[in-house]
Amino acid sequence: MNKLTPAELALLPKLDRIELITVRLPFVQPFATSVHSWAVKEALLLRIESGGVVGWGECVADPDPYYSYETTQTARHIFKDFLLPQVEAGISFAELGERLRPVRGHGMAKAMLENALLDLVARQRGVPLHELLGWPGRRIQSGISIGIKDSIPELLSAVEEALRRPYHRIKVKIMRGKDVAWLRALRAEFPQIALMADANGDYRIEDAPLLRELDAFNLTMIEQPLSYSDIVQHAALQRELATSLCLDESIHDLDDARAALSLDACRIINIKQGRVGGLLESLRIAAFCHERGVGVWSGGMDETGIGRAFNLHLQAAAGFTLPGDTSETSRYFAEDIVAPGVVLADDGFIEMPTGPGIGVQVLEDRVKRYELERERLS
């Protein structure tokens, strides 16, 4: 067992009030993957209070199971019936992790709980979250994930607009039928940019010859080309491609990351703290990859400003050497539930919030405005 970190040793405070809040924010424009298109962000939030200090967590599950089997409803059920009963004042985050271990999977529900507790403890100590996690703040690289478009010209203009911000790297979603020709057109127009593609599992191993054609486009990586549940076939595919593979959906915890690297199923991992059970497991995965020279980056789940702030703080850690999917707030929402929003500096970098906890202010009147449901649990 590795030495525990200060955050893992931190103790849970007594909670005076616990609420689950569902919010629904319209997206500025719909976001489409190979699997589904979302027009609104529906998110389950956790609000906890201790001695007048408030901590927030965001569950990255959607109301539907089109990215993961978890949904806002499964997260609510697992949280109320299995996770919350394990929370006890005075135990450490490490002890909480041990108590939650028998609950198989449901990393999104677990991350929401851990998020809120870490934010609360950091706010009580008056330190930024990244400091509680043991890392000095830094400016981070930006990246953008551009959804599936109806036509190649639409994709070209979306990329052009993103380059003007300027984002450090561009990720485009691909799917069967919107792949080789689309990337060829992009490369012809933008020969030099850092470009990658995310298939969200749309291909099968039989598509290896088609995917090999993507080697011509000098992509920094291809993200999750094969099934969300597969690691072995990704290893077979990686042997056939010059381009690095990156796994997203297939990685739920450190053990999955170990399996993927030992099988050479990918050369890069997309760490979404909201998918792998929270920030502490994310840091374990990042450290494991860093020791092996494997790059990681922070993905996103189109979070509200709450979840986005957690993703920012995570990227203070060593190992996050690649630009992630952390984009400007205005790209997702006309109005967010936190202030300030994420903006790019002129050089495309993003500043890490410096205030206590996640370092952004949650605007409770806005939360109320976008609220669908609020359930008080204590």
Catalytic residues: 173, 272
299 contacts ligand OSB (rule: CB under 6 A): yes
300 contacts ligand OSB (rule: CB under 6 A): yes
The vertex-323 CA angle with 322 and 325, nearest 5°, equals: 130
Q: Which of residues 45-74 bind ligand OSB (CB under 6 A)?
A: 67
Report the residue closest to ligand OSB, judged by CB: 300
Residue span 199-218 as binding mask against ligand OSB, x where in contact by CB under 6 A, dash where not? -x------------------
248 contacts ligand OSB (rule: CB under 6 A): yes
Please provide the distance, in angstroms rounded to a whole number, between the alpha carbons at the two ends of the chain.
35
Tell the residue number behind the tokens 């399996």, with chain if given: 259
Nearer to ligand OSB among residue 33 and residue 71 (C-beta) = 33
Nearer to Mg ion among residue 118 and residue 174 (C-beta) = 174
Q: How many residues bind ligand OSB (CB under 6 A)?
A: 12
**CB 225, min distance to ligand OSB, A:** 12
8 binds, among Mg ion, ligand OSB, none (CB under 5 to 8 A by kind): none
Question: From the list 141, 243, 282, 327, which residue makes contact with ligand OSB (rule: CB under 6 A)?
Answer: 327
Q: Which of residues 145-164 bind ligand OSB (CB under 6 A)?
A: 145
Which positions lie near Mg ion, rule CB under 5 A? 198, 223, 248
3-state secondary structure string across 64-98:
CCCCCCCEHHHHHHHHHHHHHHHCCCCCEHHHHHH
**CB 196, min distance to Mg ion, A:** 10
**CB 253, min distance to ligand OSB, A:** 18
Nearer to Mg ion among residue 198 and residue 230 (C-beta) = 198
Nearer to ligand OSB among residue 251 and residue 289 (C-beta) = 251
**CB 62, min distance to ligand OSB, A:** 8
Question: From the list 131, 281, 302, 336, which residue makes contact with ligand OSB (rule: CB under 6 A)?
Answer: 302
**CB 98, min distance to ligand OSB, A:** 30
Nearer to ligand OSB among residue 58 and residue 325 (C-beta) = 325
Q: Which of residues 163-202 bind ligand OSB (CB under 6 A)?
A: 198, 200
301 contacts ligand OSB (rule: CB under 6 A): yes
Give the interface with ligand OSB as residue ranges (CB under 6 A). 33, 67, 145, 198, 200, 248, 299-302, 325, 327
